Amino acid sequence: MSQQSVIFFDIDGTLLNHDKQLPSSTKEAIQELKRQGHIVAIATGRGPFMYKDLRNELGINTYVSYNGQYVVVEGEEVYGNPLDKTAIKRLSEIALANEHPLVYMDPNYMKANVPEHPRINESISTLKVGMPSHDPLYYENNKLYQTLLFCTEEEENQYVNAFPEFDFIRWHKVSTDVLPNGGSKAKGIEKAVEKLQIPTERVYAFGDGLNDIAMLSSVHNSVAMGNGVNEVKEIAKYVTKPVDEDGILHGLRMVGLL
């Protein structure tokens, strides 16, 4: 192979279908990319501990976690952008007063600030990664790269106005990601590509959700999944088939990688 490319894949709704299963055509396509010498990477809102099995299954050791806040290239941590601890403390106090629970997340664990809550169960159960344990002060002695705030879209507005330190990106009707202001998958990919020294014209990304908009807007070759939200399809250069209809394989053929 004369030209090596790097391809970043979102997980939920992109690599995995809505049952959190990896289509056989997707696995075969990724294996072929690797046989050709390309670098296959992940760019996800999940934490590293939440998709370790998937990385092992696909043989992937370059990944952008927590929507760009924690980046590992070929097994080496190359970038970290933790949440401000003072602001997290203030968010914790206000959210608790509003009866909106939080889940604190670092590269290895997720810890809830309440023993249990129906909104935590409803949303995190869809990821099929287990439930967080309880540690209301976990933020004090650990670097957090993302926090989950459990509230509705209407309830979220008060936090957006009160916390300019954070960006809020909704992923579920009762849960939103809390990120450092300006943090995104795009920024994480930029750090990974700098380390890999891959030319921008040979950087590809596949995604389907709102947290993929910055990523797909910034990479040279962007592919939206057919099952993706309209906002993603509108900004991507290519739109492939849905994940359950061999969307990854079809998309890789569309862009000429397979």
Active site residues per annotation: 10
Please give the Cα distance from 222 to 173 (Å, whole number): 26
Backbone phi, psi, residue 152, to 5°: -80, 170
Helix (H) / strand (E) element for 107: namely: none
Residue 256, sorted as left (phi over 0), alpha (psi -120 to 50) or beta, turns out to be: left
Beginning with the edge strand found earlier in the chain, give each strand of the sheet holding 76-80 in spatial order.
Answer: 76-80, 70-73, 63-65, 39-43, 6-9, 203-207, 221-224, 238-239
Asked if 205 and 216 touch (Cβ cutoff 8 Å), the reply is yes
Asked if 124 and 103 touch (Cβ cutoff 8 Å), the reply is yes
Instruction: State whether residue 205 is helix, strand or coil.
Output: strand
Q: Bridge partners of 44? A: none
Q: Which two tokens stand for residue 109?
A: 């664990």
Pairing of strands 133-134, 175-180: unpaired
Please give the Cα distance from 193 to 187 (Å, whole number): 10
